[in-house]
Amino acid sequence: MKSLKVFVVSDSVGETGEQVVKAVVAQFRPNFENTIIRRFPHIDSDDHISNIVEIAKAQDALIVFTLAEEKMRKKLEECCLKENIPSIDLLGPMIQVFQKKINEKPLEEAGLVHKLDEDYFKKIEAVEFAVKYDDGRDPRGLLLADVILVGVSRTSKTPLSQYLAHKRYKVANVPLVPEINPPEELFLVDPKKCFGLVISPEKLNMIRKERLIALGLNDDAIYAKHERIEQEIAHFYKVVHRIGCTVIDVTNRAVEETANDIIERIEQNK
């Protein structure tokens, strides 16, 4: 069986090119016997290309490449043609077809797919973080969070945490109750990343009554009484004053509006 050597040349990590090569090789050699596939990632100069072509010639390898920049593709094609080395351009022909179809110029920027993947995984990580450290479940999360939300019950802490998580912010939230001391970690974090959420007593009374009814409970429970709500809000102000954090009134605000306000403040403080 004749030996086969394939060099995968890429301006990114080369994973796409390698997977395509493996798919093709498997049609001839399912067990990849007597086959070597070698990646050359992050190729970004003419010298790199010249060196790879020289090695390919010495080792009788063929070259498969995924290069986003047209200039680099042409350079590699010319070098391979000069040295009589078989080469396959995986991206170039498809880029040309797309360019003609939509009449737009390509960005010619390496690694864009992996940047999107990285962004996706950051979002997933942030969502998992928000779930793990929701409702004060583990105070240790406060020291790891990008954003900390504090407020009395029913001030949209959880939906706001999830919305911010989809913007790739790691969010922890803490409910404030007069009978329970806030976690000490809350007073150790940078107050600039902590936000107190407050709501008018009248609005909160209405929200809590609706919540009780939805749960099949009597809407005159102490949870929804004005006296209790006033007590909780007074406790809230004592805590946020001690923290020294920003207070945002969410009474007539959508979650998106509050989130955008927080994001703007966080970015300004960086």
* Feature table: binding site for ADP: 151-158
Given strand 35-40, what is the order of strands in its sheet? Answer: 35-40, 4-10, 62-66, 87-89
- 3-state SS of the chain: helix, strand, coil percent to 5? 55, 15, 30
Interatomic CA distance for residues 66 and 114, integer angstroms: 14
Identity of the amino acid at 43: I
Q: Identify residue 88 by its one-letter amino acid code.
A: I
- Torsion from C-alpha of 195, 261, 158, 197, nearest 10 degrees: 40
Binding residues: 151-158
Q: Tell me the two tokens of residue 86.
A: 């078989």
CB atoms inside a 10 Å sphere around CB 21? 21
What are residue 88's DSSP bridge partners? Answer: 64
Q: Which amino acid is at 136?
A: G
